[in-house]
Amino acid sequence: MEWLKMPSSIGQNITQNGRWNQTSKSSCILCKLSGGFDVLLSSNLKGMKSTRSVLMCLSVLLSFNPCSQAENYPYKSDYLWVAVPDHDNWVYAVGEKAVVEIMFFKYGIPQEATVEYEIADEACQADVRGILELKKGRAVLDAGTVSMPRFRDIRLALRLDGVTYRHHVKIGFSPEKIQPYTQEPDDFRAWWDSLLTDNKRYPLRSSRELYTPYCTDKVDCYLVRLEVNRSRQAFYGFLFYPKNATKGGHPVVLTPPGAGIKANRVADSKNYYPENGCIRFVIEIHGMNPTHSEAVFEDVRRAFDGRVKGYLYQGLNHLDHYYMKHVYLGLVKCIDYLTSLPEWDGINVAVQGGSQGGGLALVAAGLDARVTQCIVNHPALSDMARAATGGVSGYPHFSGKDGFLTPAHLKTMAYYDVVNFARYVQAKTFMTWGFNDDTCPPTTSYAVWNTLKGNKESLITPINEHWTSESTNRLQLDWLLQNRIINK
């Protein structure tokens, strides 16, 4: 990955490898240039008092573009919102007033317009509403403060030429003090240890075949079917090997999936793992061969009431019947499988995933002390019962409105909540999340992060919604290789 450096007074890094890199130490504006270049503009309010300064920076940045035409951000859009909190990291202390600069451009031209705004706790009804008048495309919003650690969501709407444009930005107040609502049951560890002991009695049963569509001159790929319990429930997965893998020479990486019942048609998108010496197992959790047609997956989704997350509601009324029970235990069976491979180096076992996959990575690391590295993006399944406080809950967003906050449901959630597994993670952990994420809200990511007690590193990218850039994804591999334990 190559970086083009710019004067710090104008901007930060430009990259061709993803939407943007990690947030810099100054507040930032994300813009997109044609030719695949993305730009993070430094926009500290002290150094950028006027709209003219922003436009000047845009003009200078365009001169770095290898193509003659520029594209607005979002992609092929006429308009651009810019919302810049006056604290560099978008974080304030409880009781400290937050100020946000708001800007709006159409065709790159600052607009005179009226902005309707509302401010709310995450996923809640607004408790503050008002109007701002943009002058030369710019206005300053006093976002107030709060008395307890939390995130505030600033929601903006502007109507221009018959079209309503919307935007939002979240700011944190003492998020390092956010604690999970979910409490650990007294028998949590004993219950899971009993299940693991019983499941360990079931021997490894697997099959694999070469999957040539994903094989390259550097990587071999196998389609694996692995039975995960005595009921013969199974996971399928693509097992990626470095070409000419050597006995005892390679770390293993388990990658659980994001939410949904769907085929992973891009399982080979992170081939830089095997290309750099890792054996990577990219799994599904529903016992469905990923080579099935999309029609087959659609039929199964319909069987789970048609929702992407329908299976996450199945059996929630009793902890022994919950759908995810066999999934959590199956993660350990996957580690059994990976550590049985003769090419495993005998020590390094990594788990890596995002959203549901990030939550499952933490579950695996909490259940199995063999895990040595844990890499997580915005974990789902975290503080799932938090809505009982009237606040935001982790994905899949169980709520009283849906009838899923009964005592029985809440009891089950506690045994399956990622925050309770995070208490037992011994592996080195690298975790990244954004503030603008509504799917896996930053409140619940902080609930996990503040619970982790071991060796941990974070990459906080405030502007991110429910995504990570390709450069961040590649950074995770670099972190893994740097933290690989050398078997002497």
Catalytic positions are: 355, 437, 466
Distance in angstroms (rounded) separating the CA atoms of residues 82 and 291: 43
- Identify the helix (H) or strand (E) that includes residue 209: strand 205-210
Tokens at 96, concatenated: 């400290």
User: DSSP letters of 151-169?
Assistant: EEEEEEEEEETTEEEEEEE
Residue 329 carries which DSSP code? H
Cα dihedral 394→396→400→403 (10° resolution): -150
Q: Which residues contact 264 (CB under 8 A, 6 or more apart)?
A: 238, 257, 282, 284, 290
User: DSSP letters of 172-202?
Assistant: EESGGG---S----TTHHHHHHHHHHHHHTS
Integer CA distances (angstroms), 478 to 59, 85, 472, in order: 34, 31, 10
Asked if 224 and 281 touch (Cβ cutoff 8 Å), the reply is yes
Q: Which residue has the tokens 């890094």?
A: 13
Tokens at 73, concatenated: 């951000």
Report the side by side order of strands in the sheet with 28-32.
14-15, 38-42, 28-32
Integer CA distances (angstroms), 235 to 31, 206, 226, 247, 304, in order: 41, 10, 5, 25, 18
Distance in angstroms (rounded) separating the CA atoms of residues 453 and 365: 13
Question: If you count DSSP H runs as helices and E runs as strands, how many of each does the chain have, helices first?
Answer: 10, 21
Q: Which residues contact 7 (CB under 8 A, 6 or more apart)?
A: none
Integer CA distances (angstroms), 428 to 364, 382, 488, in order: 13, 19, 19
Q: Which residues contact 302 (CB under 8 A, 6 or more apart)?
A: none
Asked if 225 and 207 touch (Cβ cutoff 8 Å), the reply is yes
Tokens at 346, concatenated: 């005998």
Integer CA distances (angstroms), 96 to 127, 142, 352, in order: 18, 11, 36
